[in-house]
Amino acid sequence: MRISIFGLGYVGTVSLACLARDGHHVIGVDIDPGKLAMLRDGRSPIIEAGMPELVSDVVATGRVTVTDDVTAAVGGSEMSFICVGTPARPNGSQDLRALERVSMELGRALVTKTAPHLIVVRSTALPGTVDGVLVPLLEAHSGLRSGDGFDVCFQPEFLREGSSIQDYDHPPFTIVGAAADRPVRLLRELFGGLPCAFHVCNVRTAEMLKYACNAFHALKISFANEMGRVCQSMGIDTHAVMDLVCSDTRLNISAAYLRPGFAFGGSCLPKDLRALLHAAGRRDVEIPLLSGVLTSNEAHLRYGIDAVLTTGATSVGMLGLSFKSGTDDLRDSPLVAMAERFIGKGLKVRIYDPEVNLSRLVGANRRYIEESIPHIGSLMYAEPGPVIDESDVLVVGLRTPEVVSELLGRCREHHTIVDLVNLPDRNRLRGQYHGVCW
């Protein structure tokens, strides 16, 4: 294929060299004449393992040209990759000037092109940037409509500096955010052979994915570093601990706990986190990330509570009370905290939880209800029916087949359903649906 690449920094230059290595004809475009001159001479404008040799080789093949003439680059290629920088301004907002400028230039160049052109955005940009900033500029400066003369898609880049050629050849996955088939078809032709999954999604999902991945990577590093500081303060070998943490691919290094849902609770996570924070505090070890976890959880609980209170309803039915389905453990259950808040606000509260049946409860749980939340025990119903029928807002903290079928059968238009569990069949529910995380 013939590909033009706009922006010859880390992403653009590595793409240029690897695409040319793989037999494609590549035209590099940059506003920096120094970078163009270096590439023309077969020298890499970036310092990166393997790049000096690769650039020299691919330039020698004649498959690489460089120019600052945007019209010639667009005219001489089937698709253009946008790889310009999107740096942060001092307040953290993204500086889109390079993206805007390149979009205007590409728009003007499209005027002279008769064949369809594909624009592939590789720069990292916040969700909405492609459809809200780039496409309007391309349309305004070309007089064409996106999808009619040119297509735009978003393909996030996952290479890491220092191992970028290796990452180009072995990405974690290929993601194409597109609203049409043509971009997907062309990019599958180009990257479908890589040893990874090829996912197609909408543009905003692809834009957000890059931020989700980078935020997660940053979070992992900071988590490991905080655990390292705590371990060190206690004379424990951090690597011995973290090696074992990483060896658990069922609960730790897995998709477990990585789906948005309701606030965590129960008898272990909050208690053990608090004990760790206390132990670190006693040793003057700062762990702001771990300290922030409980604050984050409380914010999430408030989000669910506010979803109910802002409806102005006077009665609330709670389907589920324990901290998760399949247990009767009420200690530190966020649903108990919710119920207490509703009671405090004067709402009429009705609760159904088949696992939490006072007559069956024994031991610590029975004692907990009788001593700590006796007022809640008296609000429990043995059947979900009356809870649904007699309440305006329904907080759903259980997704058992029984609860789902009762909701489908009994919900009416006046109900507001606050879903904490990602209910199946939600389109079939009557009433106002409000998902807390989805």
Ligand X SMILES: NC(=O)c1ccc[n+]([C@@H]2O[C@H](COP(=O)([O-])OP(=O)(O)OC[C@H]3O[C@@H](n4cnc5c(N)ncnc54)[C@H](O)[C@@H]3O)[C@@H](O)[C@H]2O)c1
Please report whether residue 196 would count as binding ligand X according to CB under 6 A: no
Stretch that binds ligand X, among 157-165, 268-276, 333-341, 412-420 (CB under 6 A): 157-165
- Footprint (CB under 6 A) of ligand X, residues 242-261: none
- Footprint (CB under 6 A) of ligand X, residues 123-152: 123-124
Please report whether residue 368 would count as binding ligand X according to CB under 6 A: no
Instruction: Choose which of 3, 4, 10, 134 interacts with ligand X (CB under 6 A).
Output: 10
DSSP 344-382: HTT-EEEEE-TT--TTT--HHHHHHHHHH-HHHHTTEES
Instruction: Choose which of 4, 12, 96, 423 interacts with ligand X (CB under 6 A).
Output: 12
Please report whether residue 355 would count as binding ligand X according to CB under 6 A: no
Residue number of the CB atom closest to ligand X = 9
Residue nearer to ligand X on the CB measure, 155 or 322: 155
Please report whether residue 161 would count as binding ligand X according to CB under 6 A: yes
Instruction: Choose which of 42, 50, 52, 85 interacts with ligand X (CB under 6 A).
Output: 85
Q: Which residue type does 215 have?
A: A
**Could you give the CA distance from residue 89 to residue 427 in angstroms, rounded to a whole number?**
42
Mapped onto helix, strand or coil, the DSSP state of residue 429 is coil
Mapped onto helix, strand or coil, the DSSP state of residue 297 is helix
Residue nearer to ligand X on the CB measure, 173 or 438: 173
Stretch that binds ligand X, among 81-89, 247-255, 302-310, 317-325 (CB under 6 A): 81-89
**Residues in contact with ligand X, total (CB under 6 A)?**
25
* Residue indicated by tokens 């530190």: 332
- Sheet of 416-419: strand order equals 380-381, 348-352, 315-319, 393-396, 416-419, 432-435
**Could you give the CA distance from residue 233 to residue 437 in angstroms, rounded to a whole number?**
37
Residue nearer to ligand X on the CB measure, 9 or 386: 9
Residue nearer to ligand X on the CB measure, 172 or 281: 172
Instruction: Choose which of 4, 7, 21, 186 interacts with ligand X (CB under 6 A).
Output: 7
Alpha-helical regions (H) of 170-287: 181-191, 203-233, 238-247, 269-282
Residue nearer to ligand X on the CB measure, 11 or 338: 11
Of the candidates 18, 196, 201, 268, the residue annotated as catalytic is 268
Distance of CA 212 to the CA centre of its chain: 3
Please report whether residue 9 would count as binding ligand X according to CB under 6 A: yes
CB of 1 within 8 A of CB of 20? no
Stretch that binds ligand X, among 26-34, 241-249, 255-263, 305-313 (CB under 6 A): 26-34
Please indicate whether residue 268 is annotated as part of the active site. yes
Please report whether residue 31 would count as binding ligand X according to CB under 6 A: yes
CB of 10 within 8 A of CB of 18? no
Residue nearer to ligand X on the CB measure, 213 or 289: 213
From the CB of 100, what's the least distance to ligand X, in Å?
A: 9
- CA-wise closest residue to 164 among 16, 28, 51: 51
Instruction: Choose which of 16, 64, 102, 209 interacts with ligand X (CB under 6 A).
Output: 102
**Could you give the CA distance from residue 217 to residue 325 in angstroms, rounded to a whole number?**
30
Helix (H), strand (E) at residue 65: strand 64-67
Residue nearer to ligand X on the CB measure, 13 or 322: 13
Please report whether residue 86 would count as binding ligand X according to CB under 6 A: yes
9: number of CA atoms within 13 Å, CB side? 15
Please report whether residue 84 would count as binding ligand X according to CB under 6 A: yes
Helix (H), strand (E) at residue 336: helix 334-344
Tell me phi and psi for residue 115, to 5 degrees: -75, 155
Instruction: Choose which of 96, 98, 308, 376 interacts with ligand X (CB under 6 A).
Output: 98
Helices vs. strands in the chain: H and E counts, helices first: 18, 15
Please report whether residue 157 would count as binding ligand X according to CB under 6 A: yes
Residues annotated as catalytic (active site), given as ranges: 268
> Which residues here bind ligand X, judged by CB under 6 A?
6-12, 29-32, 35, 83-86, 98, 101-102, 123-124, 157, 159-161
